[in-house]
Chain A
């Protein structure tokens, strides 16, 4: 009977070993008789005792960090750099919320989500906020149980053509072959555009964007279409980026914005007013560089925004200097834009529609007062 016992022991050892191997660190810590780190941090978090805090905010504070759903890699919006640090507009927005809640823009963990499971992840509470270049449409807003916090980037579908083709307007694409990615609204918008104008066209769809862009680059198509921000990113993958131009026509509206679950108005307020604070900060000329001087400002608008007057932070369950922390962490909206997609980055996108309303764009945030 020695052998079966030995076999059983070995089996148990293997099982226990395997189990230990797969246990997450916090469970292992619990087994080892230690509490988890975030639990002890709760008491020291500012505002944690506030009773007005909604369910989501309470949960985020208890956890000690924000869970933010981002893309699995989209240049300028959310992509990891060679040191593993996420950067992009969507990423910086999440850092802004983390700064507003904790006073520390790094208290956020990014959860890369595919286009398919992004909504399920938000519904199931895997992420607190979805900041993943998601177009604000009525069906998404009304039928999925979500709210949109606003628009962080006005995108729209556009065309790219070779300069040598002499095409300068989308109407001249009649009879052309267009490369695009299949299974997205891009294809639908394309059909709508040409059908609505009674123009003839041929479409060449590819499963992957990389295939579509290389087909265009090899001259199999006369034009390539996707969202304008994507066109600039894809252009970097071409042999001769400068030989291609983006046509001025925008054939669909793609307002991208952060998404939150319905049913927690306070959390929706935090998401919405964080975005508004970023825009208001730009409008008032508050940047990450001059934030310390701005604290001394006599301008009542600045004083309200930075918490010197009124109690706007407390009304959403946050600290009075929440905006100061936001601007310190990520800067204002303009800084975020220029840092991630602006003309000095490889993407080189102009502000265009995304300029402030005072500069000819449509970025217009309700005032904080």
Chain B
């Protein structure tokens, strides 16, 4: 007897009451869980909404606007410091450069999300090769007409995005190479890959950043001290590529040996086997893992604060110490804002990942 025969007829999705009974109150256990969950939501959601929206102060020029009994989030603090949260101490006269970089990235990214958009290949090359160059030249400057802006003046969302995007763009190819290296039949390459991966996975990111920022100058000759943000970028990229390598390796192991053998039997070389047969399947399997690593990396960028670079969160915390905007609910407001910013980006990434999964798995979904 097949499973279909054993199932009863599908229940009609009738009234709201019927839906409630079926989904929320179908048994004593479920009823208890529903009530507990509802109570917890009742405890947490209304106060949060009250604080963030209904009781919040939306307009005002000074900190006095936010003082007083029963007032919620102090949004004027965020409006006043908004430029700091987004650009850090980037000179005001040069902010158009950052805006162009943001806009270019956005314009190039949108067609990538639309399956029917043309010229995908050129778009990828633009995003991965041309765009970083443009961004570097525009952001750092020191070109005719573009005065230099030292990275110590970058901050806020700009730094978060620069660190995260660099980590993402570098870690995926590097991670794939490391994963292939770890499964290589050549002992030297395998050993090197294992040592690299295990070393970077074995140390905390905080240690890496601290060593890169503070200890490195002790070892290097004077005058040869790379930019502080650059050191962080290299550290973050190497660190995340070790994680990426293990995610990709997980995908490689899911590919049955028959696929390799069939590819080799068809006369494909090693790189053809990997590039045409194995990796397309392996990477599709591990999209959730890859995006998971990206999201983790995005949130780990907050750690650059410990080496004196202000990302969004660091900038929020720094601005909170400004006595002209110190208010009782300042810290809560600032952290709420930082949380919203991070959530938007991370949720966007995870939505894109599930969209990709659905598209690539169209043939095998159930």
| Cβ B328 vs Cβ A75 within 8 A | no
Q: Which residues of A contact B136 (CB under 8 A)?
A: 20-23, 28
Least Cβ–Cβ distance between B172 and chain A, in angstroms: 9
Given A25-B141, A28-B140, A124-B214, decide whether A14 and B323 contact each other with a Cβ distance below 8 A.
no
Q: Which of A71, A82, A113 has most chain B Cβ within 10 Å?
A: A82
Q: How many A-B residue pairs have CB under 8 A?
A: 191
Complex contact B125–A13 (CB within 8 A)? yes
Q: Among residues 253 to 296 in chain B, which have CB atoms less than 8 Å away from a CB atom of chain A?
A: 269, 271-272, 275-276
Size category of the B interface is 35 or more
From B142, B152, B153, B214, A117 is in contact (CB under 8 Å) with B214
Tell whether, in the assembled complex, residue B308 and residue A113 are in contact, meaning their CB atoms are under 8 Å apart.
yes
Of B9-17, B31-39, B81-89, B190-198, the one with at least 4 CB within 8 A of chain A = B81-89
Contact of A28 among B125, B142, B310, B327 (CB under 8 A): B142
**For the complex, what is the distance from the CA of A34 to the CA of B155, rounded to whole Å?**
26
Which of B151, B233, B276, B328 is in CB contact (< 8 Å) with A3?
Answer: B276
Which residues of chain A have C-beta atoms less than 8 A from B331's C-beta? 210, 237
Among B294-339, those with CB < 8 Å from A are 305-308, 310, 314, 317-328, 330-331
* Whole-angstrom CA separation of A233 from B151 in the bound complex: 30
B18 at the interface (CB under 8 A from A): no
A20–B89 touching, CB < 8 Å:
no
Q: Given the complex, which residues of A lie within 8 Å of B320, measured CB to CB?
A: 73
CB of B355, distance to nearest CB on chain A (Å) = 23
Query: Which B residues are CB-close (under 8 A) to A25?
Result: 140-142, 148-151, 227
* Contact between chains at A3 and B317 (CB < 8 Å): no
CA distance A29 to B146 in the complex (A): 12
Q: Is B321 within 8 A of A74, CB to CB?
A: yes
Tell me whether B89 and A84 are in contact (CB under 8 A): yes
For B323, give its contact among A32, A79, A116 (CB under 8 Å). Answer: A79
The residue in B136, B141, B327 that gathers the most chain A C-beta atoms within 10 A of its C-beta is B136
Using Cβ atoms and an 8 Å threshold, which residues of chain B touch A22?
136, 166, 230, 233-234, 237
Within the complex, the shortest CB–CB distance from B129 to chain A, in Å, comes to 4
Q: What A residues does B130 contact at CB under 8 A? A: 17
The residue on B at minimum CB distance from A75 is B323
B214 close to A72 (CB less than 8 A): no
CB pair B323–A236 under 8 Å, yes or no, is yes
How many interface residues does A have (CB within 8 Å)? 63
Nearest-neighbor residue (CB-CB) of A85 within chain B: B89
Residue contact A82 to B84, C-beta cutoff 8 Å: yes
Residue A310 CB within 8 A of the other chain:
no
Across the interface, B318 reaches (CB within 8 A) one of A13, A24, A79, namely A79
Q: Provide the residues of chain B in CB contact with A117, threshold 8 Å.
A: 210, 213-214, 306-308
**What is the bound-complex CA distance between A34 and B141, given in angstroms?**
13
Beta-carbon contact of B150 and A109 below 8 Å: yes
Tell me, yes or no, whether B250 is within 8 Å of chain A by CB: no
Q: Nearest chain A CB to B126's CB is how many angstroms away?
A: 10
**Known: A22-B230, A111-B308. Contact between A7 and B271, CB under 8 A?**
yes
User: For the complex, is A125 an interface residue (Cβ under 8 Å from B)?
Assistant: yes
| Residues in B whose Cβ lies below 8 Å from that of A297 | none
- Residues in A with CB closer than 8 Å to B307 are 117
A235-268 residues with Cβ-Cβ distance < 8 A to B are 236-239
Taking CB atoms, residues of chain B closer than 8 Å to A4 are: 269, 271-272, 275
**A120: Cβ under 8 A from any B Cβ:** yes
27 contacts between A and B (CB under 8 A): A4-B275, A7-B271, A13-B128, A13-B129, A20-B132, A21-B166, A22-B166, A24-B151, A25-B148, A25-B150, A28-B136, A28-B140, A59-B222, A73-B318, A79-B321, A82-B319, A82-B325, A83-B83, A109-B153, A112-B310, A117-B210, A117-B213, A117-B214, A123-B218, A237-B327, A239-B69, A239-B328
- 6 further contact pairs, Cβ within 8 A, besides A14-B128, A79-B318, A124-B215: A14-B129, A18-B170, A25-B227, A29-B148, A73-B320, A82-B322
Residues of B within 8 A of A (CB): 63, 69, 80-81, 83-84, 88-90, 92, 125, 128-130, 132-133, 135-137, 140-143, 148-153, 155, 166, 169-170, 173, 177, 210, 213-215, 217-218, 222, 226-230, 233-234, 237, 269, 271-272, 275-276, 305-308, 310, 314, 317-328, 330-331
